[in-house]
Structure 1
Amino acid sequence: MPKHLIASGFAYQQDHASMFSTKRAYLILLLEGLASSGVQMVTIRQTVAFVGGSVLCTSIIISCFLGALALGYFFGGKTAPEKFSRALLFNLVGAIALFGIGLSYPFVSMFFLSIADISYGLPILGNPLVHLLAFCLLVMSPLVFLLGQTVPLLLNTADQETRKSEAAGSATAISTVGNVVGCLLTSLVLMYFLGVGYSILVNCMILSFCVLLVLRPEKTVLKPMLLSITSLSLAVAFVANVRMPNQLFAATTPYSDIRVEAKDGGKRLVINRSSASFIDAETRQGWPYIEMMKSAIFADDVAGKDILVLGAGGFTLSAEDTKGANFTYLDIDPMLKSVAEGDFLGEPIKGDFIAQDARAFLLTNEKRWDVIVVDLYTNAAAIPMHTATFEFFSLVSERLTGNGKAVLNIAANPRLTDRYSQTMDNTVRQAFSRCVTDITSYDDSLQNLVYLCGKRSSGVDRVARAYFDDTTRVTVDGYLSALHGSAR
């Protein structure tokens, strides 16, 4: 290459580098890192209603995020120095549009419902995890790819005296600090106090500020157009993430999208697209499986007894009458109580409420309960993994009084024709001494199975002995059981 071209190229790079102070470059890297981790947190939260919140879902999102970030680093490093400023601007503007629209609830809902309809009945393609992978590859990954190029692009602003290794280390460190702050800010502050919609909007505003920082020293005819596109993207992001969700939901929290709607002479509480509770306006009764659970709870005299409900739903177990029992509801979502009282029940809940993870509560609270109800779901069919294992159900058993009982709602196939339903049934029966199952329907699909179980005791066999032809035990035991029942 001719020396004059090399010299001119070097001069162009120096001019652009001088346009960006070190502090300004570091601020852009910090804010970009903050927004990048916000993408990850928001994607996990927005997809819960459609695929659940299992470790499998999280692993897909994180893998796609890291893959897109690596590609962003790679291709960003190949950008010519004289093009870095323009590339950075277009990446940031494109990221704002993708973030504000692609991760909004209306778009996410349309995407998952459409792909579910298209792939219905198809092997593999109909799996919700495949739908999540498609969403990550088509929406989240391009967004992360654009933001990931920020680090190598801004390396062009480093002073010529600064070593490449030092510049790369500083840029990566600042961006990573932004990642850390972004995770905490988005999940613990923005989502908690403002909701998901405002969290997305705030992150888009952060990226818009980055656009202004890049445009400030730029002398380009594209400045008015880029500012117009950025302003329009923010306006659309506000409508899609704040105005529309506010009309759809009573609350959007770090855990759930909650809405209340009229149905069959009562109200239905919908959490993450799942019909969590129903209450009849006149009788104050709930879904059939809830009434089944209430029959089990109130079968004995419960006056003065302590009842723990893990998974509050709409607090309908005590909506009709507590019969003198002391109800304690526990749910991970602290906003659920206010929504239920204000929009669903129309009155204060009957009982106490604790906002905490169910397993963490049982591990740290050694109180014994007369009845423990387990009704935990992240969406229509997904039980949180750590509350669907032998260890968790054993912990529930340990927290029962000697004559206490557990009442469990498990969504499974009542015919036990699939591996999940068979294994879940076996898991529950292994964790308790005895269980009886009641079902609302015998359809060959996921149904509410209500397990009524007793406390596991080391002095009682988990599996009762069988009756054989060579004894009269079945007749004698049956007769004694009948006498005991008639005496009551």
Structure 2
Amino acid sequence: MLEIVVFLCGAVVMVIELAATRILAPYLGTSTVVWTSVIGVILAALSLGYWWGGRLADRNPSRKALSGVILAAAACTAAIGFSNTFVVEMIRASGTGLHASSLLAVACLFGPASTLLGMIAPFAARIRLTDTATAGRTVGRLYALSTAGSIVGVFAGGFFLIAYFGSSAILFLTAAVLAGASALCHAGRWPLKALAALACVGLYLFSASQTAALTAKGVVDVDTPYQRAMVYPSRDYTTGRTIVALSTGPEGVQGGVYPDEPEALALNYTRFLPLASHFAPGMRRVLVLGGGAYAFPKYVLRSHPAADVDVVELDPGITALARAHFFLPDDPRLTIRHEDARTFLNANTQRYDVIVVDVFNSAASIPFHLATVETVRRLALALADDGVLIVNTIGALQGPRARLYKSFAATYSQAFPQVHAVRTWSGGAEDAPQNLLLVCFKTDAPRDWTSADPAMAGRLDRRIPPPDLSGALVLTDEYAPVERYLTGW
């Protein structure tokens, strides 16, 4: 039984680590900073557990003591499910910055359980050691079983658990597994251990019922194959109208729709995407990288009856949410491809009148491989000579965080003779991250930035002077420090 216990606890470690990224994502994002904090802190906690577990095992190498350690790990794991929202929101509100907040959140939430789980393998090895002549074989076997369990945990968590269960539900289920492992290790006080396992199962069922209750109220919190996404009723603070919002990161809303007018563009920055209609009124082929709530594809289908739209959206779960909550229609002119935008561009041979890049919509996580000059050159190849490319970026106009905006402008200038910037918000501090649209053309031919339509003219007038590109970094596949530029480090 001891070998089974070691295997199960090894699996739980990796399931918890994968769940950690989903729990932190709505508040701190999924950037490399967050992933580094999760991996580094949990490794540090495991190392502490190895040391501590070995010392305790030398003092009291008993199954009863090991069973108590596992039961304590179960309690700490269940506590994460209870406290994660409160703890992470409190840390984020402290204003300590992304790096410190990530480290502190992982240490507070996942450090205790990971430390206790790290104690199990050396503890079990000490219990199994009865003959020094076979010590190496015994220790090697137990650590191999623990690692094998971790491998199973990685694939079970990444391929199955996260796709079918909520983050908190996963924690309650793993806590129940640990309570059961405690009973397998030592049968003493089994009623308490059985009660603990049943309590964790009950917490899972309660969590599932709460999720169902929230869904009935229009609030959806789901783990897709690639991220954690939330759909909920909200309000457009520019108009006061009710919207259904989509959030995939800590900055708030990445997509939205008016339930009483689903064809309208609900978010402020999306109202500037029709600039494409001004510069390419006869568009026939349109490419959109990043579907989200599918606001712009729906606009094209409605406003340009002769246009066909290709959308490349990495996450099929996001498309499913768009169909269920954001009025995404089935239309023969709409083709949706679920793949990475870079791999699509690498294989693409089509030419498009309009390309909209909307994959940089979260200041907490920018896909660096889509920001590089290599990607920009692929975009240039895919754009018709008289076409227009519109890129929704995140950046500041002034201060240390402006390096990202300047780098974007410098990078796109490598393939496009004309790169114009449009500021979607006139208010707000210039040193704060905000939506900035890059409007790019493949030729030097002058374009008309005036319109008889007052609404369009107002958007065209939001063009701002080009930034000073002296010293600006051209982002490459080899070096693209987008997260450092975003945080101002």
Q: TM-score, normalised by structure 1?
A: 0.79
1:292 aligned partner: 272
Match of 1:137, SS state, is helix
2:27–2:92 Cα contact (<8 Å) kept: no
Of 159-168 and 179-188, more deviation after overlay is shown by 159-168
Of 326-335 and 421-430, more deviation after overlay is shown by 421-430
2:316 aligned partner: 334
For residues 459-478 of structure 1, the aligned pairs below 5 Å read none
Alignment of 1:427 with 2:411, yes or no, is yes
Of 290-299 and 336-345, more deviation after overlay is shown by 290-299
1:275–1:380 Cα contact (<8 Å) kept: no
2:245–2:253 Cα contact (<8 Å) kept: yes
For residues 155-194 of structure 1, the aligned pairs below 5 Å read 155-158=125-128, 160-161=130-131, 163-194=134-165
1:111 aligned partner: 87
User: How many Å separate the matches in 1 of 2:86 and 2:149?
Assistant: 31
Match of 2:56, SS state, is coil
User: How many Å separate the matches in 2 of 1:292 and 1:90?
Assistant: 60
1:239 to 206, 214, 225: 206
User: How many Å separate the matches in 2 of 1:378 and 1:180?
Assistant: 33
User: How many Å separate the matches in 1 of 2:328 and 2:313?
Assistant: 19
For residues 177-207 of structure 1, the C-alpha deviation after alignment (integer angstroms, 9 at most, x for no partner) is: 1111211110112212344344334433332
User: How many Å separate the matches in 2 of 1:345 and 1:485?
Assistant: 30
Of 416-425 and 306-315, more deviation after overlay is shown by 416-425
Alignment of 1:206 with 2:177, yes or no, is yes
2:316–2:338 Cα contact (<8 Å) kept: yes
Alignment of 1:385 with 2:368, yes or no, is yes
1:306–1:370 Cα contact (<8 Å) kept: yes
For residues 31-66 of structure 1, the C-alpha deviation after alignment (integer angstroms, 9 at most, x for no partner) is: 111111111111122212222222222122111111
1:416–1:422 Cα contact (<8 Å) kept: no
Q: 1:405 to 1:97 in 2, by over 3 A?
A: farther
Match of 1:406, SS state, is strand
1:21 aligned partner: none
Percent of counterpart pairs with the same letter?
Answer: 21
1:225 aligned partner: 192
Structure 1 alignment gaps of length 5 or more: 1-23, 121-125, 465-476
1:343 aligned partner: 325
1:413–1:421 Cα contact (<8 Å) kept: yes
Alignment of 1:42 with 2:24, yes or no, is no
Q: 1:431 to 1:375 in 2, by over 3 A?
A: same
Q: 1:39 to 1:297 in 2, by over 3 A?
A: farther
Give the number of aligned pairs.
427
1:75 to 46, 52, 62: 52
CA-based RMSD: 2.9
Q: 1:34 to 1:297 in 2, by over 3 A?
A: farther
User: How many Å separate the matches in 2 of 1:290 and 1:192?
Assistant: 30
2:436 to 434, 437, 449: 449
For residues 251-287 of structure 1, the C-alpha deviation after alignment (integer angstroms, 9 at most, x for no partner) is: 3224122213153144322333531222232372222
AA matched with 1:360: T
Q: 1:295 to 1:422 in 2, by over 3 A?
A: closer
1:96–1:234 Cα contact (<8 Å) kept: no
Match of 1:332, SS state, is coil
**Alpha-carbon offset, residue 307 of structure 1:** 1.6
User: How many Å separate the matches in 2 of 1:312 and 1:200?
Assistant: 31
Match of 2:293, SS state, is coil
Structure 2 alignment gaps of length 5 or more: 236-240, 453-489
1:77–1:152 Cα contact (<8 Å) kept: yes
Q: 1:141 to 1:485 in 2, by over 3 A?
A: closer
Match of 2:388, SS state, is strand
2:475 aligned partner: none
1:99 aligned partner: 77
